């Protein structure tokens, strides 16, 4: 007779690994399917690992996880064509025994996580693409078909951890097609440099690291951000904007990344580096309103497949791991109670997510994507004005300070008018609530 699994997990990114690990640890018979040659081979991320989400799954992960640097300094830059106006925060408080954020290299990290999933007892098959969901006569999902196995693979529940594209769920009619204004396209490069060069260039000791998040005229009026993260012997640099914006403006992502890299504030940080990897990937940045249906009879969606990305705080993998863990815990809980994985039973997953930071944060920023889409000037005009104001204020040129203040206020009023300025502040405050 054909083996029947307690759960099949589609995908071995952070969300699928968290779900598979959690269920396997609870003694469930888990099969995980990954289309890549190995877990991580298809995955692209900046990448910052938020320790808390992983610690709740594997408390001692620091013992052997491949970590690059722990973040001690965060820079947030508003950029115009020639300058950046920044907020930097650096603290020795981040040099703690159990650091809170690390830079990682996803290909290595996903492989490590997958090893943990196997050690916990799950069966992991790579180079296996799930092509279809199987349903019974009443529509309940009962398993999957793959490109590797002739026959069906059956399970009580299928966890869709297939990432942003969500083709398996889409083909089964469980989720709508992605809309261009709900996803960002990000392009990224790895720039290699000797470890000592990175450490002196960024003022770092040991495995300390720096994160730069940037916005402004670098995205040419499109909604998006750029980033630069220090790894041990490389720097990840990338930029992303909404797919709908790229299509409307007819700008190429590569051209945008090239312009970012040659910006006078970025170029010296990358000088003499050797570029070895290049990658492009979608990020589900449509926010709360773009979250698709998350559960149904015999299935649930986690991570990017559930559209869990907090674009304001640049968080994704932690929401992926948390939603994967919560999904795994819910399935194990139903098993313990000997309840079937019906739509009613699995609805508990959504209830638990609602009580966690995942849905609370998604809901908090639900107005941000539309605000940025309708108010293009926010990411363009204000960085320019901030730069102009700093120029006026910092130049010592015989003009008295009160006149300078008036010049700055005057340029703000001319650019937006008093009502425009107040309207922007009001709209931003309302969307931020």
Interface ranges with ligand FAD (CB under 6 A): 10-16, 33-36, 42-48, 129-130, 161-163, 168, 186, 188, 238, 281, 283, 303-305, 309, 314-318, 320
Least CB distance to ligand FAD at residue 162 (A): 4
* Partners of 125 in beta bridges: 33
User: What sign results for the dihedral spanned by CA atoms 349, 354, 356, 360?
Assistant: positive
Least CB distance to ligand FAD at residue 405 (A): 39
**187 or 259, CB closer to ligand FAD?**
187
Angle formed at CA 180 by CA 179 and CA 185, multiple of 5 degrees: 125
Least CB distance to ligand FAD at residue 159 (A): 10
**83 or 143, CB closer to ligand FAD?**
143
Least CB distance to ligand FAD at residue 189 (A): 10
Angle formed at CA 311 by CA 56 and CA 417, multiple of 5 degrees: 145
Least CB distance to ligand FAD at residue 188 (A): 5
Least CB distance to ligand FAD at residue 383 (A): 22
Least CB distance to ligand FAD at residue 12 (A): 5
Spatial CB neighbours of 258, under 8 Å, sequence gap ≥ 6: none
Q: How many CB atoms lie within 10 A of CB 34?
A: 29
Least CB distance to ligand FAD at residue 388 (A): 31
Inter-residue contact 102 to 67 (CB < 8 Å):
yes
Burial (0-12, 13-18, 19+ Cβ within 10 Å), 397: exposed
Spatial CB neighbours of 37, under 8 Å, sequence gap ≥ 6: 126, 127
Spatial CB neighbours of 382, under 8 Å, sequence gap ≥ 6: 78
**211 or 334, CB closer to ligand FAD?**
211
- CA 241, CA 420: separation in Å to the nearest integer? 25
**CA-closest candidate to residue 282, choices 187, 184, 369, 189:** 184
SS3 per residue for 167-187: HHHHHCCCCCCCCCCCEEEEE
Q: How many CA atoms lie within 13 A of 187 on its CB side?
A: 14
Least CB distance to ligand FAD at residue 213 (A): 10
Tell me: cis bond preceding 47? Omega within 30 of 0 counts.
Answer: yes
**83 or 318, CB closer to ligand FAD?**
318
Q: What is the DSSP letter of 8?
A: E
CA–CA distance from 366 to each of 2, 284, 291 (Å)?
A: 45, 13, 10
Please list the alpha-helical segments (H only) found in 272-380.
317-336, 343-354, 357-364, 368-374
Angle formed at CA 401 by CA 399 and CA 405, multiple of 5 degrees: 110
Least CB distance to ligand FAD at residue 377 (A): 26
**24 or 47, CB closer to ligand FAD?**
47
Chain centroid to Cα 362, Å, comes to 13
Least CB distance to ligand FAD at residue 29 (A): 19
With H, G, I as helix, E, B as strand and everything else as coil, classify residue 204. coil
């Amino acid at each position: 007779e054909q083996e029947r699994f307690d759960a099949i997990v589609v995908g071995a990114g952070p969300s699928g690994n968290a779900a598979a690990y959690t269920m396997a640890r609870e003694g469930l018979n888990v099969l995980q399917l990954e289309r890549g040659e190995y877990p991580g081979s298809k995955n692209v991320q900046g990448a910052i690992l938020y320790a808390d989400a992983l610690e709740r799954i594997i408390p001692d992960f620091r013992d052997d996880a491949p970590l690059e640097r722990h973040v001690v300094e965060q820079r947030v830059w508003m950029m115009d064509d020639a300058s950046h106006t920044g907020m930097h925060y650096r603290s020795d408080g981040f040099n703690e025994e159990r650091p809170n954020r690390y830079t990682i290299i996803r290909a290595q990290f996903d492989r490590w996580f997958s090893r943990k999933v196997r050690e916990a007892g799950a069966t992991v098959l790579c180079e296996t693409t799930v092509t279809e969901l199987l349903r019974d006569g009443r529509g309940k999902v009962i398993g999957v078909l793959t490109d590797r196995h002739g026959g069906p693979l059956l399970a009580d529940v299928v966890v869709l951890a297939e990432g942003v594209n969500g083709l398996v769920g889409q083909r089964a009619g469980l989720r709508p097609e992605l809309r261009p204004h709900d996803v960002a396209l990000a392009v990224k490069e790895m720039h290699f440099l000797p470890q000592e060069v990175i450490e002196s260039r960024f003022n770092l000791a040991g495995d300390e690291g720096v994160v730069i998040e940037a916005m402004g005229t670098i995205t040419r009026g499109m909604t998006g951000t750029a980033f630069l993260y220090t790894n041990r012997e490389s720097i990840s640099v990338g930029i992303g904007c909404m797919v709908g914006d790229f299509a409307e403006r007819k700008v190429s992502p590569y051209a945008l990344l090239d312009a970012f890299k040659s910006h006078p504030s970025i170029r010296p940080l990358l000088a003499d580096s050797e570029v070895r990897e290049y990658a492009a990937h979608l990020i589900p940045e449509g926010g709360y309103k773009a979250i698709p249906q998350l559960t149904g009879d015999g299935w649930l969606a986690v991570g990017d497949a559930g559209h869990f990305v907090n674009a304001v705080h640049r968080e994704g993998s932690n929401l992926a791991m948390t939603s994967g863990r919560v999904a795994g815990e819910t399935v194990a809980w139903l098993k313990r109670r000997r309840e079937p994985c019906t739509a009613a039973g699995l609805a508990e997953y959504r209830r638990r997510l609602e009580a966690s930071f995942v849905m609370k944060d998604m809901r908090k920023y639900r107005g941000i994507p539309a605000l940025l889409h309708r108010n293009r000037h926010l990411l363009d005009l204000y960085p320019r004005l901030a730069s102009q104001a700093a120029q006026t204020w910092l130049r010592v040129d015989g003009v008295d300070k009160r006149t300078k203040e008036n010049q700055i206020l005057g340029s703000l009023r001319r650019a937006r008018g008093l009502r425009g300025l107040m309207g922007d502040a009001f709209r931003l405050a309302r969307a931020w609530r």
